[in-house]
Structure 1
Amino acid sequence: MRQTPPPIAYLLPNFFTAASIFSGFYAIVLALEGAFDSAPWFIFLALIFDGLDGRVARLTNTASHFGVEFDSLADIVAFGVAPAFILYLYAGESYGRIGIVVSALFIIFGAVRLARFNVTTSRIEPSVFIGLPIPTAAIMISIAILVMERYHALSSYKVFILPLALILAILMVSNIRYPSFKKMNVKTFHFTRFLIGFITVAMGIFVYPIEGMAILAAGYLLYGPLRASFYMLRRLFHRG
């Protein structure tokens, strides 16, 4: 017989969700202070807290409808408002209304992405996301800023972050499929190959953290369009 967890246990996963919101808010505070080399890291921290809340809820058997809604609201703050605000202060502010529109579209399309996920998650394939997940889009914005802050010679090209943000926004509301590592069946992996690959990637990120994460994020970002293009071309060849 499954035991009902004590009421206080429900606070733990929601604490991590609240921590995700706080991390996003603090990223905004740092951006307002001009600390663009630090603000994006708190988007990464928000991602860690976002990953912990659901896992803690499942481990403690404290998943609830309130927790799901709270997590969704936290995502729009930490991965929608926060990166869009950092984006606007870093690059968009210099381009007037264009910067405002691009930053706003990132939030709006991110909210659409979350709403669609909430209402369709029970009907889609268990191993994929439909559209680019909003945390991934937020991480891409954060990495782009970190790369430009690390290599100051690139700072004159910060305007290119605006079209990147627009592309990310469109991908969020697209029907392009991305793998969901949360739902993938680890048992189907070859353990030795997976371990070797994981260690190699981890060592690369340890030596070059920003560059390594940029490569990983770019690979995940491109996977969806490349996969969709491959299947579209294959269908065209079969028809021909």
Structure 2
Amino acid sequence: MQYDETPPEMPRRRFGPIPVRMLVPNVITLLAICAGLTAIRLSTEGRMELAVAAIVFAAVLDGIDGRVARMIKGQSKFGAELDSLADFVNFGVAPGLILYFWQLHDLNNVGWIAAMVFAISGGLRLARFNATMDDPNKPAFAANFFTGVPAPAGAITVLLPVYMAFLGAPTPPAVLTALYTLLIAFLMVSRLPVFSGKTVKMRVAPEMVLPLFVSVVLFIALLIGYPWHILSACSVLYLLSLPLGWRSYRDHQRAAAAQESPSPSSSPAPAGAKPTLVVPETAAKDDRPNRLN
């Protein structure tokens, strides 16, 4: 009787040491989730201004975490999945509940359906983004465009009636708010090409660095001092820019189609055809020099 003297294979460790740079973007994403959940709580307590401010803060953190991950090379599949879940909570569920507790509850079930459709549209939009992120059939210019309004922009834009109410404007009827909510939800799941600032590589001239810093600081100061004015203006300008994104996408599409289609002059000659000698016009004439006799 023989025994196998081969020692049993040691179990492999499933997780190895994780660099700190991989954790920093995830911590920012978790802070964004905390902001979104806090916004839901504040809306249930009737503190709408703080709830909207928490959504804006979550949107700022959402714009930072991806750039920080690319800057310190801390991208990971775990971080991408966590970011999608955070976006669904912060920019799908939280804005829908804020609108419901603010005014849509006056419509009872109809208002709840509008809020629920917006939240579901945010989830569908994020799922489509993840599914088509690595699509090899996408043209090169399509990387500069989103398909549909992105979730953070949809969350900021859908709260436009709330901003206007904070400014002292007459509160719109609940039916109009519900229709506006459904419109933004439709734009999120639509196929509308929307400008994307993530993939556009921009360079700043050295003489424009300081003016750019001043402009950023000025914008942040205005956002802090006049938040509802700035958010209202940004939401309106963003909605007005949507047709420009669609037009730019169509122009790129036509240019790409024109480059792919063969020109008539480059079409191959039919089989069996004899080459035709083209005689220049000057050669057909008498090339003897003109002399005065």
1:78-97 equivalences in 2 (<5 Å) = 78-97=90-109
Q: Which has the higher helix share?
A: 1
Give the deviation of 1:224 after TM superposition.
1.8
Alignment RMSD (CA, Å): 3.1
TM-score (norm 1): 0.83
- Which of 133, 136, 139 is the matching residue for 2:153? 136
* Residue 165 (structure 2) aligns with: 148
CA distance in 2, matches of 1:35, 1:150: 16
CA contact (8 A) 1:26 1:39 kept: yes
1:167 aligns with 2:186: no
From the superposition, tell whether residues 145 and 191 of structure 1 become closer, same or farther in structure 2 (CA, over 3 Å): farther
Structure 1 equivalent of residue 28 of structure 2:
16
Cα distance in 1 for residues equivalent to 2:126 and 2:182: 17
Residue number in structure 1 paired with 2:233: 215
Normalising by structure 2, report the TM-score.
Answer: 0.69
Q: Does the CA-based 8 Å contact 1:36-1:146 persist in structure 2? A: no
Amino acid at match of 1:137: G
User: Cα 1:228–1:62, aligned 2, differ >3 Å: closer, same or farther?
Assistant: closer
In structure 2, the residue matched to 1:181 is: 197
Q: CA deviation at 1:114?
A: 0.4
Larger RCO: 1 or 2 (CA < 8 Å, sep 6+) = 1
- In structure 2, relative to structure 1, the CA distance for the partners of 1:83 and 1:127 (3 Å cut) is same
Distance in 2 between residues matched to 1:172 and 1:90, nearest whole Å? 22
Unpaired runs of at least 5, structure 1:
233-240
Letter in 2 for 1:61: K
How far apart are residue 188 of structure 1 and its match?
8.4
Measured in 2, the distance between the counterparts of 1:138 and 1:37 equals 15
Between the aligned partners of 2:231 and 2:192, the Cα distance in structure 1 is 22
CA distances 1:120-176 after superposition (whole Å, capped 9, x unpaired):
12344121111001111111133431321231x422545432211111000001111
Tell me if 1:37 matches 2:49.
Answer: yes
Q: Which one has the largest radius of gyration?
A: 2
CA contact (8 A) 2:59 2:152 kept: yes
The unaligned stretches of length 5 or more in structure 2 are: 1-16, 251-293
